[in-house]
Amino acid sequence: MPPFREHSTGCEDTSLENIVSAIDKKSIDRDAEVIRVLVRVLLLNILVAVLKLVFGFLAGAVSMLADGLHSLLDSASNVVGLVGIGIARRAPDADHPYGHRKFEALAALGIAMFLFLTSFEVLREVLRRLRGEHEVNPQPVTFLVVLLTIVINIAVTRYERREGERFRSTILLADARHTQSDVFVSFGVLASLVGAALHFPVLDIVIALLIIVFIAYSGYRIVAGAFSVLSDSMVLDPNRVVSTAIGVSGVTHVHRVRSRGVPDDIHIDLHIHVPPQMTTSRAHDLAHEVADRIKAEFDGVTDVVVHVEPEGHPGD
């Protein structure tokens, strides 16, 4: 029997018009919310970056300048995220029948590139300071600014992670990890300023070097997650999918389960066996039932392809 394809609308017609119509209001609302979150975070990141850069320059603290540059690149990564989600929310078209959701993963890679660029710029500044005289003169207001930016970044990280989990957004979760790195970096900056106040300025350089390692590792984690999506890594446990499908009356065997996509746009295909005497009409209805059962069981599944085979068939 030919494969049965179940779209999110439950229609059998696989024409482009029907695929486009399958983009429901919930998906559109989700993307709009993700964009709103990114805009709010962008504005806060700009504020934090300006504070760090201005007061880091006045204090002569390379670690604080590095942290300010990190925050400035946070803002740039927010812009990349906005562009990525803007493309990812486009409806399927003739060239992209599966939609554009992988552009979120590509945007996440852009964020990682900004992190690696930050690491390089900080390292270059550290080497420049090592070749010359390094003097740090933190003022009381400098400490207050760092503490304020830490509080803002903690709030932003929690907010972005919560919304990322809520909307199952690769972009928001990647950016939350990026912002979280700012929190740890700022604590390091605070430690370096304390060292400078105690006449131990070399701590500023040491902290800056640790910041480089931390930022680069954050970028690596984002790259690993994005590559998982782009390389179509398995998203769901195939054994759970088999258990769900085999629970439908009339299905005698399930095999060749595959899944791919992002958490809120998962594509699944599988093969089911049915009794050979089953009519084509009944097999068709059964395939619908299997697809509906899988969608009800797993959040984020938007497309299911069910291949129907007679029992005892060796399979493809």
Q: How far apart are CA 109 and CA 174, in angstroms?
A: 9
Same domain, 216 and 249: no
- Strands 265-274, 3-6: parallel, antiparallel or unpaired by DSSP? unpaired
Q: What is the pLDDT of residue 312?
A: 72
Q: Is residue 169 part of a domain?
A: yes
Q: Which residues of the chain, if any, have pLDDT below 70? A: 1-28, 88, 129, 132-135, 313-316
Residues 178 and 299 in one domain: no
Comparing CA positions, the residue from 311, 313, 314 lying closest to residue 278 is 311
> Residue 114 belongs to a domain with what CATH number?
1.20.1510.10
pLDDT number for residue 231: 81
Let me know if residue 142 belongs to a domain: yes
Q: Final residue of a domain: which of 230, 254, 288?
A: 230
| Residue 40 and residue 132 in one domain | yes
Contact 14, 7 (CB under 8 A): yes
Residues 173 and 218 occupy one common structural domain: yes
Q: Do 189 and 197 touch, CB atoms closer than 8 A?
A: no
What local confidence, expressed as pLDDT, does residue 26 receive? 56
Chain center to CA of 257:
25
Q: Are residues 146 and 240 in the same domain?
A: no
To which H or E segment does residue 148 belong?
A: helix 140-167
Please report the pLDDT score of residue 123 as a whole number. Answer: 82
169 and 260 share one domain: no
Verify that 204 and 134 share a domain, yes or no. Answer: yes
Q: Are residues 252 and 145 in the same domain?
A: no
Count of domains for the chain: 2
218 and 72 inside one domain = yes
Yes or no: say if 237 and 245 are a contact pair by the CB < 8 Å rule: no
pLDDT given for residue 273 in this prediction:
95
**Closest by Cα among 237, 315, 236, 302 to 272:** 315
Strands 265-274 and 301-310: parallel
Cα distance between residue 278 and residue 308, in whole Å: 11
Quick one: pLDDT at residue 25? 55
Query: Of 230, 245, 260, at which residue does a domain stop?
Result: 230
One-letter amino acid of 179: T
Residue 137 placed within a domain: yes
Q: What pLDDT score was predicted for residue 287?
A: 93
The pLDDT score that the predictor gives to residue 10 is 41
Q: Is residue 89 part of a domain?
A: yes
Predicted pLDDT at 204: 74
Range of the domain at 78: 23-230
Give the pLDDT confidence score for residue 3 in this predicted structure: 53
Q: Is residue 17 part of a domain?
A: no
Residue 204 lies in a domain: yes
Domain edge (last residue) among 192, 212, 230: 230
pLDDT tens per residue, range 69-118: 777 777 777 777 777 777 767 777 888 777 777 777 787 787 788 778 87
212 near 123, Cβ under 8 Å?
yes
